[in-house]
Chains A and B, each alone.
Chain A
Amino acid sequence: AQTVTQSQPEMSVQEAETVTLSCTYDTSESDYYLFWYKQPPSRQMILVIRQEAYKQQNATENRFSVNFQKAAKSFSLKISDSQLGDAAMYFCAYRNSRYFGNEKLTFGTGTRLTIIP
């Protein structure tokens, strides 16, 4: 079974600074997807960024980028130029790439990010 580990329950960063959230995972599969989800106080689950395991290039979405290290099974999220609206709980998640079967997302335990004005 796959597992996802987020070892930082809480983090804080000064507004406009850069912060990196860590995530490691364990799987025996070679093809899979990794995601970062943001959960603000509204509880809504918002997809921040995704990475396909077969792509070597790290995904980037505006101020959000990932450092995907497949051999190390590491998938960290970097937030540049942090803004007050980035304050939220962030979840790392894994999903097998096979379409036939349970399309389960396996989540980490989350990192609560606080932005200091």
Chain B
Amino acid sequence: EAQVTQNPRYLITVTGKKLTVTCSQNMNHEYMSWYRQDPGLGLRQIYYSMNVEVTDKGDVPEGYKVSRKEKRNFPLILESPSPNQTSLYFCASPPGEGTDNTEAFFGQGTRLTVV
């Protein structure tokens, strides 16, 4: 079954304590992306990756890092979380180039609270 798996689903942390949210896909997709969802703002792209070792900023990258050392994994790293990063986070992976399928597969979401 085609899947994007995020962990953890819920996370409460304190300001300044580094954390990583993992994302893994089993579809061999080249493209992966992170979004955050906030009330009244919809979903906004944080970072994306077009392939292994190729990453770039989205619309709201401040305070986040990513890495893409292998195709299936795309972790989101918060080096020093702050309360304004409290949000619902989604990892997504569309099929990308060379296919007519435009559906993006989303992970289950990670509810992050920074106190």
Contacts and interface: CB of A to CB of B under 8 A. Distances in A.
Nearest to B88: A43
Contacts of A44: 106, 108-109
A99 B42 contact: no
A54 to B, nearest CB: 12
A103 B42 contact: no
Interface string A14-34: 000000000000000000010
Contacts of A102: 45, 48, 50, 56, 58
B97 A100 contact: yes
Nearest to A43: B109
B43 interface: yes
Given A43-B88, A108-B42, A103 B106 contact: no
30 contacts: A4-B42, A35-B102, A43-B111, A44-B109, A45-B92, A47-B103, A50-B102, A93-B43, A99-B96, A100-B97, A101-B50, A102-B48, A102-B50, A102-B56, A102-B58, A103-B31, A103-B33, A103-B48, A104-B45, A104-B58, A104-B59, A105-B33, A105-B43, A105-B45, A105-B104, A107-B35, A107-B42, A107-B43, A107-B44, A109-B42
Interface of A: 4, 6, 9, 33, 35, 43-45, 47, 50, 91, 93, 95, 99-105, 107-110
Interface of B: 31, 33, 35, 40-45, 48, 50, 56, 58-59, 88, 90, 92, 94, 96-98, 102-104, 106, 108-109, 111
Given A103-B31, A103-B94, A104-B33, A45 B106 contact: yes
A15 to B, nearest CB: 26
B39 to A, nearest CB: 9
Q: Secondary structure of the A side of the interface?
A: loop
Contact of A103 (B41, B44, B96, B109): B96
Given A44-B106, A108-B42, 14 more contacts: A4-B42, A6-B42, A9-B40, A43-B88, A44-B109, A47-B103, A50-B102, A95-B102, A102-B48, A103-B96, A103-B104, A105-B104, A107-B44, A109-B40
Nearest to B100: A52
